Amino acid sequence: MIVGEQKPLNEIVAMLDGHHRILISGCRSCVAICLAGGEKEVGVLAESLRLHSALKGKGWEVRENTVERQCEKEWVRELSPLVKETDVVLSIACGVGAQTIQSLYPDTRVLPGLNTSNMGAPDEPGVFKEKCGGCGDCVLHLTGGICPIVRCAKSLLNGPCGGSQNGKCEIGNDTPCAWEEIYQSLKRLGRLDLIERNIPPKNWIPSRSGGPRRIIRPEAVLTKEQKEAKE
């Protein structure tokens, strides 16, 4: 899932200055799971902003809404009646959600309430760790199901490096060495032969080298007739 965390309250307040009718929009998908932008977090942020407004006499009118998936236009269209009555939308979904709202409502300002961080998962309640770099050329089949691109600080494809000590990475912060984990995983799986294999230099073309990426799935693309029928 996409992991993010709320921007500091003073940054949000500064962004909202000059606006009056504010709609806070959350998302029930990834950011709700990482406890950053779901219905509950929308409520807490709304109450914080109402309190700030009352204390500073700003007269803000704060409304709340949480859509199922802010990255899909079908769900974001539900916001239409609320957006009409608002000066600014504060999205606390990921950057994709904020952009989807902006693309559907180009005449209304959309502000990001979250800093979108990474693609990760909770290791334990409240602890979210990055797991995938979205490099576009997955090597998990060679590395025992552990991604060396994001879980190794150097993104080494043939590790470990000399900075691996007692299973920990030299960057500290109790970060495990990804290549130690890969070794242990391959050992458990009885596939230590894979660690002997030299992974060739990675093809970074499917990654961020060529600008915004696009994937087209022909079977899902609407034909001209389907588009007309939908309209």
Partner 1 sequence: MRIIGYVCAHAGYAAADLAGEQRLHYSADVTLIQVPCLGRVDVTHLLRAFREGADAVFVAGCLEGNCHHHYGNFEAKKKVAQGKRILNDLGLGSERLEMFNVASNQAWLFKEVVDEMTARATRLAPNPLGARN
Closer to partner 1 by Cβ: residue 50 or 168? 50
Between helices 9-16 and 39-56, what is the axis angle to 10°?
Answer: 70
Selected from 28, 50, 131, 202, the binder of partner 1 by CB under 8 A is 50
Selected from 19, 21, 28, 52, the binder of partner 1 by CB under 8 A is 52
Closer to partner 1 by Cβ: residue 38 or 144? 38
Where does this chain touch partner 1 (CB under 8 A) — which range of 49-57, 93-101, 106-114, 141-149?
A: 49-57
Interacting residues with partner 1 between 6 and 25 (CB under 8 A): 8-10
Contact between 63 and partner 1 by CB under 8 A: the answer reads no
Closer to partner 1 by Cβ: residue 25 or 100? 25
Where does this chain touch partner 1 (CB under 8 A) — which range of 42-50, 84-92, 136-144, 217-225?
A: 42-50
Selected from 5, 28, 48, 207, the binder of partner 1 by CB under 8 A is 48
Where does this chain touch partner 1 (CB under 8 A) — which range of 47-55, 78-86, 179-187, 211-219?
A: 47-55
Number of residues that bind partner 1 (CB under 8 A): 13
Interacting residues with partner 1 (CB under 8 A): 8-10, 40, 43-44, 47-48, 50-52, 54-55
